[in-house]
Chain A
Amino acid sequence: MKVTFPHLGSMYIFCKAIAETAGIEYVLPRPTSNRTREIGEYSTNESVCLPLKIILGNFVEALEDGADTIIMVGSGPPCRLGLYDRIIKIVLKDMGHDFRWLTIPGIFNWQAFMQNHEETKELRKELSFANFAKFPFAILMGWKKMNWCEHLEKTAARIRAMAIRPNEVDHMLEHTLEAIDKAGTMSSLSKAGKEGLEAFESVEKNKRPPLKVMMVGEVYTIMEPSINMDVEKRLGHLGVIVERSSYFSTHIRKGSRLDRKLLKKRKQFLDNAGRYLKYDVGAECNFSVAETIQAADEGYDGVVHVYPFSCMPENNAASVLSIAGPDLNIPILPVVIDRQDMGLRIDTQLEAFVDVLRWRKQGQIL
């Protein structure tokens, strides 16, 4: 058995850590390239959203590299009517690939448990006692690595906006994540993380006060830089600290329903969005609106709303946000991502947005 999983920001470090620690063979999908995008584009209906195309491409490349079992996160309605993961499965079958499929449910309920139970029946036979015995530790290792990754990414987002040479910060983050990924023990892990943080602090900073924006929108688009065309990095280079509430760990904690505090916060979010949305539209729509309201309340300079072209829930959110922006007196930039979106176009919009924010805050753009 060789498992593989989708790319989602630094999530691969988490998945890899679990697989390695538990002694399960895995194939890491190749980093998303133009070829990946082309595979996804060519094999799906044109109106399907970009994240689905890219994830499909990642899986095809992983299968080519010898994977035989795909682990995919499931989602609820209305995203592709709740069949987001299943659609990928069907397309892959149509393409003639042979593989086994395991859905990690988005929310752990009875129905999800049953489905999971069915799917894992065969897989469990291939796992040894040693694999199971190591599992709790593997999860712990993965969880720790993920927390480090997210902490480092948040720090990098802050430092990048102030750095004289933001490229330096990008390289540091890359190296540190690599070190985190390689760390085999808890102590080497925290050493790698601390070294990364120290490196960030040593970066030469400029005097220009940074701006702060909240990034909201569709989950995959927010979390995977190769899908959102490096929006976070590009803004960072323009002197903007990008914050987001959506990290991989947020979704695990939400899905597991163990973190009461988080669940309460999410509930509060939905209540806040009630000013504009009377019921849950689904996916992240209501959260995009709620996070925008929160950003306005907390004095952020602006909101960047990223979502794939043809994404139904986020298109709803975009309509609401076009009213909420002037209402809450906060600038909102919708960034619609599709295959055609070349970097320069995104740069133009982001740059102009940053100029708008600087004007509002400092009365000048220079």
Chain B
Amino acid sequence: MASGSTEIFLGIDVGSVSTKMVTLDVNTLDIIDSMYIRTHGDPLSSLRVIIKRLHQMKPLPFIRATGTTGSGRFLAARLVNTHIIKNEITTHTLAAVKILPEVRTVVEIGGQDSKIIITRDGHAVDFAMNTVCAAGTGSFLDQQASRLGVKVEDMGDLALTSDSPSSISGRCTVFAETDMIHKQQIGIPMNDIVAGLCRSLVRNYLSTVGKGKPIEAPVIFQGGVAANRGIVKEFEKQTGLRFQVSPYYGVEGAYGAALLASMVKAEQPEFKGFEMLEKTFKINSFICNKCEEACSVIRLYRDGKPVSFWNDRCGMYSTGEING
């Protein structure tokens, strides 16, 4: 560690819709910096933006350990060189428990999945994720906001202005959209439609994700959708419980990953994330025809050389048995 530079733990969460970063002070575990940006389907670029932010810290921080999470966790781990890779359910639990140790229910609605985590004595005892349907997650709110011509950030406040939410079918997003268009065409005001949408999304969550799980207070609500006050209000109305929105709701996964990194005792490999700013990285995929499975293997190049493979069912490439 260079004198004068801060030592930090880093957490990176590469999600389907957004990419998040959190840095923690190694001694106090307080959040030093956090960042939330859109992935726009290009995790490499969004990661580069995050690394750039890190690189701009003065003096340059020394990163003691990095944790990655989210659907792009393996990619992120390869690029920054870490072995601390965790699923988002566990990292969300770690963060929620850190914020509110006595929490009993964690409700998380992100870009493409929603989860419920039941926690007791500071750890998860049960959880559920949406199964084959992404109805009622952030992406859908996003889509509908742009279709209705309102900012997704304003949807919640717009919903709160409604006294008589219109009934919108929430079972399937395609039909929900059909229903909303219909309601617009018969002249129902926008705020009632948006409020109705919030209501049906909450109903859908409770009946598909939360089904059979004991939702008990204290409840922490996190994930991008927690920013929507209309949804929070609906949750409180339908469950009769207070939903506490986490102060770090948008970057919860990254926070959890950084906390996890702080718990790992073993010596960590050197952080190589800054290479992303100097070298060129490229990803492509190819169909392996070595067997009938025909996996679409993904290949990562650094400065034109293949350095890493994944997504092969047999592990022939990812374990390094064959080199491209």
Contacts and interface: CB of A to CB of B under 8 A. Distances in A.
B89 interface: yes
Interface in A237-273: none
B212 A341 contact: no
Interface string A324-366: 0110000100101010110111011101110110011000011
Is the interface on chain B under 10, 10 to 19, 20 to 34, or 35 or more residues? 20 to 34
Nearest to B71: A344
B322 interface: no
Interface string A76-105: 000000000000000000000000000000
Contact of A31 (B124, B125, B132, B293): B293
Contact of B293 (A34, A348, A356): A34
Contact of B294 (A33, A322, A352): A33
A10 to B, nearest CB: 17
Contacts of B98: none
Contacts of A33: 292-294
A331 B125 contact: yes
A167 B131 contact: no
Given A348-B89, A366-B264, A309 B132 contact: yes
B127 interface: yes
B215 to A, nearest CB: 14
A322 B128 CA distance: 11
Contacts of B212: 319, 322-323
Interface string A15-34: 00000000000000011111
B127 A352 contact: yes
A283 to B, nearest CB: 20
- The A interface, classified by DSSP as helix, strand, loop or mixed, is helix
Given A34-B293, A167-B319, A336-B131, A355 B126 contact: no
Interface string B87-111: 1111000000000000000000000
Contacts of B128: 334
A68 interface: no
B291 interface: yes
Nearest to A225: B313
A359 B127 CA distance: 14
B67 to A, nearest CB: 11
B211 interface: yes
A31 B126 contact: no
A363 to B, nearest CB: 8
Given A31-B291, A33-B293, A366-B263, A348 B129 contact: yes
A338 B132 contact: yes
B78 interface: no
Contacts of A352: 87, 89-90, 124, 127
Q: Which of A32, A167, A356 is packed against the most chain B CB atoms within 10 Å?
A: A356
Interface in B280-295: 291-294
A365 B86 CA distance: 10
Contact of A230 (B86, B214, B294, B313): B313
Contacts of B86: 351, 355
Contacts of B123: 356, 359, 365
Contacts of B247: none
Contacts of A343: 311, 313
B132 A340 contact: yes
Nearest to B94: A365
A348 B131 contact: no
Given A309-B131, A336-B132, A351-B86, A356 B294 contact: no
B132 A167 contact: no
B324 interface: no
Contacts of A230: 313
Nearest to B134: A340
A170 interface: yes
Q: Which of B123, B214, B319 is packed against the most chain A CB atoms within 10 Å?
A: B123
B97 to A, nearest CB: 11
Contact of B292 (A30, A170, A347, A353): A30
A356 B131 contact: no
Contact of A355 (B124, B264, B292): B124
A341 B88 contact: no
Given A309-B132, A351-B90, A325 B126 contact: yes
B87 A348 contact: yes
A182 to B, nearest CB: 18
Contacts of A356: 123-127
**Closest CB pairs A-B (n = 6):** A352-B89, A322-B212, A33-B292, A351-B87, A348-B87, A359-B123
12 contacts: A31-B291, A170-B314, A170-B315, A230-B313, A322-B212, A331-B125, A348-B88, A352-B127, A356-B123, A356-B127, A359-B125, A366-B263
Given A323-B212, A366-B265, 13 more contacts: A33-B293, A34-B293, A325-B126, A336-B131, A344-B71, A347-B87, A348-B88, A349-B87, A351-B90, A356-B123, A359-B124, A360-B125, A366-B263
